[in-house]
Amino acid sequence: HVSYSIQNTWLDDIEQKILSRIKNKYPTYPIFWISSEKLSLWEETNINDTFWDKTEIIQIVEILDEYVFS
């Protein structure tokens, strides 16, 4: 059994690594313009819509692929 807090810490660490990679590769990516309050809300809420265009989605999937397969 892995506690919720350990899982949450692990996911937060992954999130920071992904954001760092995005910032290095795409420094003007729109996620960096979003308020921390809104990002926190997104973390705690299921969101059915996307806020990114096709190009931005491809960029983030590319970063996720690099992370997962590196």
The tokens for 54 are: 């096709």
Q: What is the pLDDT of residue 50?
A: 82
| Residue 32: DSSP 8-state | G
Q: What is the pLDDT of residue 47?
A: 80
Cα torsion for 58, 63, 69, 70, to the nearest 10°? 150
Q: What is the pLDDT of residue 43?
A: 82
User: Is the confidence at residue 3, as pLDDT, over 90?
Assistant: yes
pLDDT in tens, 9-65: 999 999 999 999 999 999 999 999 999 998 888 888 888 788 889 999 999 999 999
Decide: pTM greater than 0.85: no
Q: Which residues of 27-55 are buried (b: 16+ CB within 10 A; e: fewer)?
A: eebebeeeeeeeeeeeeeeeeeeeeeeee
Q: Cα–Cα distance between 31 and 63 in angstroms, integer?
A: 14
